[in-house]
């Protein structure tokens, strides 16, 4: 295998190979697997930090909120805090992790199209930096909570800019038909701004749009930014206020396969946004996938090899993306060298359905056998965070590695954890 070109795209920064064994953060995958078991998610902390820095370097004047839905753990919140990033959360659970990780509330932005009254109250009470209003009902609920608590709550209005980005239909959120936000074209967004400005318990600190996820085409970001700037200027003219901030969401894509076209970098996006957004408007961003996806490798042990099916000890419960979206991944033999000719295999999980496929067609050494470790790169985003207990399979741990040391970020779930739910 040409490990050099492999490492360019989809593998974390501290990846190397020794005698055919994959090493992550200075640790061999054999040792990692015997210490922590498999399936195992291994996150390269240096790579995570480097990717955060790429965003803050590209946007020194902007607020960079990490999109916590991609993957979140208290330890990771601590790194974000240290690195000067803020945090985007979209549920009470994510808010709880932000609190446990010690993120100052002022650096938290709270999203969601149907935040509960309890979630709103908790967020306002804690003092979150900003709530992103997604509906008229929510606007009234947040105002009510702020009044009851005797505070003035900072808010943004989430706007549908009418941009259909080129991505999977489930992840496109900028068009008119999405459930998120208030329409620019119909005047809903302008009406929401009017109501916020008329409400003394709310303070409008910006406008928000998020056009979707796994987007490679920078023109979509440019179009959304231009429309949002035009709207912001309209608001300023109509109401004689300075809005000051545009949050343009997350969504920058990453390659999942070797040889796939490279993704634009945060610096590329910065060039595009700087051309579209005037200097008096502060930009905020919410990258999730582009920071965390490539930092993490999923490790599985092969259990059976039946014809072209290689079965591993995880599957659609720890990585629902192939079954849900048809997402494509690659896999490599990670625990030993092999000179056997390559053959085409399908890597499948241990769950009770034919669609439980992790990698649909990949070249692996023909002598692949039980006990081998398979590594699937680019496994950091929307996998462990979206994992389920389908078939009562406990969810795998996430371990960070750095300079030869490993640290458990999320421990392995146990059957006892699962049984605790039953009466």
Would you please indicate which residues are annotated as catalytic (active-site) residues? 352
Single residue of 12, 28, 250, 266 touching ligand LLP by CB under 6 A: 250
Cα dihedral sign, 403-409-412-416: positive
* Of residues 159 and 334, the one with the C-beta less far from ligand LLP: 159
Query: Which distant-in-sequence residues (6+ apart) come within 8 Å of 237 by Cβ?
Result: none
* Of residues 252 and 410, the one with the C-beta less far from ligand LLP: 252
Q: Which stretch binds ligand LLP (CB under 6 A): 9-17, 148-156, 209-217, 347-355?
A: 209-217
Residues 258/15, Cβ–Cβ less than 8 Å: no
* Of residues 12 and 287, the one with the C-beta less far from ligand LLP: 287
Nearest CA among 332, 339, 397 for reference residue 358 = 332
Tokens of 264: 């634009």
With residue 8 as reference, give the H or E element that holds it: helix 3-9
Question: Judging by beta carbons within 10 Å of its beta carbon (0-12, 13-18, 19+), is residue 272 exposed, middle or buried?
Answer: middle
Tokens of 34: 């015997």
Nearest distance in Å: CB 156, ligand LLP: 11
* Of residues 162 and 365, the one with the C-beta less far from ligand LLP: 162
Question: Judging by beta carbons within 10 Å of its beta carbon (0-12, 13-18, 19+), is residue 114 exposed, middle or buried?
Answer: exposed
Single residue of 101, 249, 294, 322 touching ligand LLP by CB under 6 A: 249
Nearest distance in Å: CB 167, ligand LLP: 9
Q: Does 290 bind ligand LLP (CB under 6 A)?
A: yes
Q: Which stretch binds ligand LLP (CB under 6 A): 10-18, 208-216, 298-306, 357-365?
A: 208-216
Nearest distance in Å: CB 215, ligand LLP: 7
Exposure class string for 178-215: b at 16+ Cβ within 10 A, else e: bebbbbbeeebbbebbeebbebebbebbbbbbbbbbbb
Single residue of 122, 210, 395, 402 touching ligand LLP by CB under 6 A: 210
At CA 142, angle to CA 136 and CA 143, rounded to 5?
Answer: 90
Q: Does 69 bind ligand LLP (CB under 6 A)?
A: yes
Single residue of 288, 294, 349, 377 touching ligand LLP by CB under 6 A: 288
Nearest distance in Å: CB 287, ligand LLP: 5
User: Cα(282)–Cα(269) distance, rounded to whole angstroms?
Assistant: 15
User: Cα(261)–Cα(24) distance, rounded to whole angstroms?
Assistant: 24
Q: Between 105 and 124, how does the x/- string for binding to ligand LLP read (CB under 6 A)?
A: ------x-------------
Q: Does 314 bind ligand LLP (CB under 6 A)?
A: no
Q: Site for ligand LLP (CB under 6 A): how many residues?
A: 22
Residues between 294 and 313 that touch ligand LLP (CB under 6 A): none
Q: Give SS3 for 104.
A: coil
In the complex, the residues that contact ligand LLP under the rule CB under 6 A are: 67, 69-70, 88, 111, 171, 210, 213-214, 249-252, 286-290, 321, 381-382, 386
């Amino acid at each position: 295998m040409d490990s050099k070109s492999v490492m360019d795209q989809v593998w974390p920064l501290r990846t190397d190979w020794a005698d055919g064994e994959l090493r992550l953060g200075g640790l061999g995958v054999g040792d990692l697997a015997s210490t922590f078991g498999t399936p195992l998610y291994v996150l390269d902390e240096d790579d995570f930090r480097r990717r955060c820095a790429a965003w803050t370097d590209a946007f020194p004047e902007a607020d960079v909120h990490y999109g916590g839905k991609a993957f979140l753990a208290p330890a990771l919140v601590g790194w974000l805090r240290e690195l000067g990033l803020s945090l985007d959360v979209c549920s009470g659970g994510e808010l709880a992790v932000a609190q446990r990780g010690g993120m100052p509330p002022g650096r938290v932005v709270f999203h969601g199209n149907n935040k509960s009254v309890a979630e709103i109250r908790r967020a306002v009470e804690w003092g979150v930096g900003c709530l992103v209003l997604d509906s008229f009902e929510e606007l009234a609920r947040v105002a009510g909570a702020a009044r009851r608590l005797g505070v003035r709550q900072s808010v943004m209005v989430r706007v549908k800019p009418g941009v259909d980005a080129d991505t999977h239909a489930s992840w496109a959120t900028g068009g008119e038909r999405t459930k998120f936000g208030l329409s620019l074209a119909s005047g809903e967004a302008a009406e929401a701004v009017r109501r916020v400005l008329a409400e003394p318990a709310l303070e409008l600190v910006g406008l928000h749009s998020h056009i979707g996820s796994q987007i490679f085409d920078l023109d979509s970001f440019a179009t959304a930014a231009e429309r949002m700037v035009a709207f912001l200027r309209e608001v300023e003219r109509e109401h004689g206020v300075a809005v000051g901030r545009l949050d343009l969401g997350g969504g920058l894509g990453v390659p999942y396969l070797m040889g796939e076209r490279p993704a634009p970098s945060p610096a590329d996006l910065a060039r595009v946004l700087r051309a579209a957004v005037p200097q008096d408007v502060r930009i905020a961003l919410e990258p999730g996938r582009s920071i965390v996806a490539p930092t993490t490798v999923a490790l599985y042990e092969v259990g059976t090899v039946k014809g072209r099916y290689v079965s591993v000890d995880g599957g659609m419960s720890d990585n629902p993306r192939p079954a849900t979206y048809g997402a494509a991944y690659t896999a490599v033999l990670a625990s030993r060298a092999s000179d056997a000719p390559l053959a085409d295999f399908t890597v499948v999980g241990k769950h009770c359905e034919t669609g439980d496929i992790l990698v649909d067609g990949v070249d692996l050494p023909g002598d692949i056998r039980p006990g081998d470790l398979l590594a699937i790169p680019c496994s950091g985003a929307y996998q462990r965070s979206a994992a389920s207990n389908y078939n009562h399979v406990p969810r795998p741990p996430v371990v960070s590695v750095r300079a030869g040391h490993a640290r458990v970020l999320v421990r392995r779930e146990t059957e006892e954890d699962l049984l605790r739910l039953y009466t």
